[in-house]
Structure 1
Amino acid sequence: MRWTHAAGRGLLVLLIVLTGYVTSGVQAREAGAGGRGPLTLATAGDLTGYLGPLLEGWNRAHPRERVTLVELPDSTDESRAQMITDLSGSGRGRFDVLNIDVNWTSEFAAAGWIRPLERSRFPLGTFLPPVVDTATYDGRLYAVPYVTNAGLLLYRKDILDKEGVAPPRTWAELEKYAETIAPEYGLDGYAGQFLPYEGLTVNAAEAVYSAGGTILGDEGARVTVDSAAAREGIGFLVRGVREGWIPREALTYKEEESKQAFQDGRLLFLRNWPYAYVAASQPGSRVAGRVGAVPLPGPDGPATSVLGGSNLAVSTHARHPDTAARLLAYLTGERVQRQVLTRGALPPVRADLYRDPGLIRRFPYLPTLRESVLAAAPRPKSARYDQVSLVVQAVVHDAMTGRQTPEAAVRRLARELDALTG
């Protein structure tokens, strides 16, 4: 009997040991499968070819956690559609990490397609402060800022110098110079991106923000656009077309068309992203060596630009989330962020790079861009941002083409956004 009890105790101990061994083995395998391993990173087309070499640096240092780059179409809309198809499917999907436009963060987070991240794992304190807000939704971090951007006012420095005037700081100055100086040199006055697409949403939001207004509040739950500030901002754009210092041709401009118009020497002033300054300053541009850049003007001084750029997010179904988080930290480190600028000509998110004398010599617009980013704001946050943007584009374009007054346009905008947000 004593032997039976002893054998039973021995068998029980053996079972516990074996069970613990099996359990720990399963946990180890699960930790390996869910923690570290190879990844796929999806991004819109890499036009400068800089991202592949950056990832090769990671792959050499992490041979068991290699990253495969998947380039989607250059078109923002097509890339977004392919990402959503992958993320919303019933299976695991192909993409682990996604390089997403900053205004997709709220939509992807609200839909449950990307996972919340631990703030402590990323150098958020080293970033330009406004960019972090583009990566949050409902008070949580859902992405890590990777590239930023803000609108600048490009101008013909040679012409303003000849006229003895400083670049405009206010809407009134911009209007005056666009009306009086531009025609003397056979130029159109001012243009932005006014075709009804995402660029018009950006231009309209900048005008509303700069006048002190907003479009949505409470993460898209509240419509706030029906205000005197919104009427003033949209009125500024409408007045430009009506009075002629914004050419009607600009109603067909996207980024590239507006850049080309400035680069060809047809515009005195242009609102665009920093890449347009770089392009206009290159040999072959008709205005090379004669271009300046300042923050966008507003009603009483520098305007509020809309933040552009992209964030890095981790799919909810990512195979190896720990590797994914470590990759995000790698891509936002100082060394790689420096290469984002020098190899990709893309504005980095790390604040210290905007004060680097060597980089400023190579990219003279950096101090101006830093000033613009620090004063910038995200586009309206909403889980239905794509539909919000379509409404803004349609209404503002109707106003700029003279179909509606600014007052009627703002009332319509509030009404349609109310119906959309429910």
Structure 2
Amino acid sequence: MRWTWAAGRGLLALMVVLTGYVAAGASADDRAPDGRGPLTLATGGDLTGYLGPLLAGWNRDRPGERVTLVELPDSSDETYAQMTTDLRAGERSRFDILNIDVNWTSQFAAAGWIRPLPRERFPLDSFLRPVVATATWDGRLYAVPYVTNAGLLLYRADILEKEGLAPPRTWAELENAARTVAPRYGLDGYAGQFLPYEGLTVNAAEAVYSAGGTILGDEGERVTVDSEAAREGIGFLARGVRDGWIPAQALTYKEEESKQSFSDGELLFLRNWPYAYVGASGPGSAVAGKVGAVPMPGPDGPGTSVLGGSNLAVSSHTPHPDTAARLLAHLSGEEVQRLVLTRGSLPPVRADVYEDPALIRRFPYLPTLREAVLAAAPRPKSPRYDQVSLVVQAVVQDALTGRLTPEAAVRRLARELNAISSGS
């Protein structure tokens, strides 16, 4: 998953200089009794490089609390594997702060790998309301939201204008235009991220949520997917592949492949994160100046996107929890949050950034993204989220390829998710 995350789906980009880095983490001499001292922050691969210079300012002003950045692989699966391996090392862990995909928060918290945080130290009331839910587990705050994301429907504004059509607000409008208008212009109709990986979990969850359903409840203890809404949501996607307005090629798409297809002028509609809007509107895109974006549609009106983004969490074994908390407050402050957008091209979590007229002129999709985030929902919370996601991917892929009917897919999902929930 790209930084789309989730933007999800990739993780946040950070620059890192590893020269002189001590792999064992803070030494005994670094363990200040007041909880202050140097930190190591782990994150996924660097895509923009904006945060390295930003943290250089923190390090210059606080020489006794320097932050060393450790850049893990671009692949979210590899980043997850390296983070969890390190966290399982306990007191031998190298990492003090982890920049984690929002859907890892519940699993890391349930495992005891990250520590609960005092709510009063962070500007939670300044955040877009839904993002805080991605940072909680069992009623407690375990991370601080840093970057958010929500899926948007990108569309060819020039073509819809020629046809006298408004951007689709319902599945029926999307399907009709994808099936009838797109072929007249030599285009495929609609694509998302339908390769079996985290992106497929996101697309499937959005379809189920938009139809009014859920997948899990009670922090993963209750399976709720066996519903008419789930059958309707999965059926909508499966019908698109069967009838051809979702091209078969889309079953191989992750975020970047689908973005490229849209930017090359091959698609009428695309579900993706806001970074794809920026790319399709920029230099080198065949559709620059011809792109619009609206919230994802649903059966009867605007649908529900899945929240992407990243949260900053503190290792349970850090020797410097006070410095860690102050760094998290700094990174979620207004000044840094503006830089998240203007230098990193990533969606910030603070609500006031979305209302700045100057920023809206520079990033015209901000009002649409704000609307999408406010209507969005987290992925299913579970202490076994990695297993949940793998099951969703496998079952939904079978539905999209016609190996299972939507009805059979939902029954199988319920059965396998119940097995995970019960620990069997």
Q: So what's the TM-score if we normalise by structure 1?
A: 0.92
Q: Which residue of 2 aligns with 1:332?
A: 332
Secondary structure of the structure 1 residue equivalent to 2:377 = coil
Q: Which residue of 2 aligns with 1:46?
A: 46
Secondary structure of the structure 2 residue equivalent to 1:234 = helix
Do the aligned residues in 2 keep the contact of 1:263 with 1:287 (CA within 8 Å)? yes
Secondary structure of the structure 1 residue equivalent to 2:112 = coil
Compute the RMSD of aligned alpha carbons. 1.0
What does the per-residue CA deviation read over 1:157-194, in whole Å, with 9 as the maximum and x for residues that have no partner? 00000111100000000000001100000000000000
Q: Distance in 2 between matches of 1:30 and 1:297?
A: 53
Asked if residue 249 in structure 1 is aligned to residue 269 in structure 2, the reply is no
Query: Aligned runs of 1:381-400 on 2, under 5 Å?
Result: 381-400=381-400
Q: Distance in 1 between matches of 2:348 and 2:275?
A: 13
How far 1:57 sits from its partner (Å)? 1.5
Do the aligned residues in 2 keep the contact of 1:34 with 1:319 (CA within 8 Å)? no
Q: Which residue of 2 aligns with 1:375?
A: 375
Q: Distance in 1 between matches of 2:420 and 2:317?
A: 29
Task: Output the amino acid matched with 2:180.
Answer: T
Q: Distance in 2 between matches of 1:270 and 1:319?
A: 46
Secondary structure of the structure 1 residue equivalent to 2:91 = coil
Do the aligned residues in 2 keep the contact of 1:148 with 1:349 (CA within 8 Å)? yes
Secondary structure of the structure 2 residue equivalent to 1:305 = coil
Do the aligned residues in 1 keep the contact of 2:200 with 2:393 (CA within 8 Å)? yes
How far 1:92 sits from its partner (Å)? 2.9
Q: Which residue of 2 aligns with 1:266?
A: 266
**Which is greater in Rg?**
1
Q: Runs (4+) of structure 1 moved beyond 3 Å?
A: none
Q: Distance in 2 between matches of 1:112 and 1:270?
A: 38
Q: Which residue of 2 aligns with 1:318?
A: 318
Secondary structure of the structure 1 residue equivalent to 2:189 = strand
How far 1:58 sits from its partner (Å)? 0.9
| Counterparts in 2 of 1:83 and 1:33: CA distance versus 1, 3 Å | farther
How far 1:339 sits from its partner (Å)? 0.3
Q: Which residue of 1 aligns with 2:20?
A: none
Do the aligned residues in 2 keep the contact of 1:208 with 1:233 (CA within 8 Å)? yes
For these two proteins, the number of residue pairs brought into alignment is 394
How far 1:31 sits from its partner (Å)? 8.1
Structure 2 gaps, min length 5:
1-28
What does the per-residue CA deviation read over 1:247-292, in whole Å, with 9 as the maximum and x for residues that have no partner? 0110110001100110000000000000000000011100000000
Q: Distance in 1 between matches of 2:77 and 2:283?
A: 32
What does the per-residue CA deviation read over 1:321-376, in whole Å, with 9 as the maximum and x for residues that have no partner? 00000000000000000001111100000000001011111111000000000000
Q: Which residue of 2 aligns with 1:143?
A: 143
Structure 1 gaps, min length 5:
1-28
Task: Output the amino acid matched with 2:355.
Answer: R
Secondary structure of the structure 1 residue equivalent to 2:104 = helix
Q: Distance in 2 between matches of 1:349 and 1:70?
A: 23
Secondary structure of the structure 1 residue equivalent to 2:40 = strand
Q: Which residue of 1 aligns with 2:104?
A: 104
Do the aligned residues in 1 keep the contact of 2:32 with 2:319 (CA within 8 Å)? no
How far 1:46 sits from its partner (Å)? 2.0
Secondary structure of the structure 1 residue equivalent to 2:402 = coil
How far 1:90 sits from its partner (Å)? 4.2
Q: Which residue of 2 aligns with 1:360?
A: 360
Q: Distance in 1 between matches of 2:61 and 2:91?
A: 30
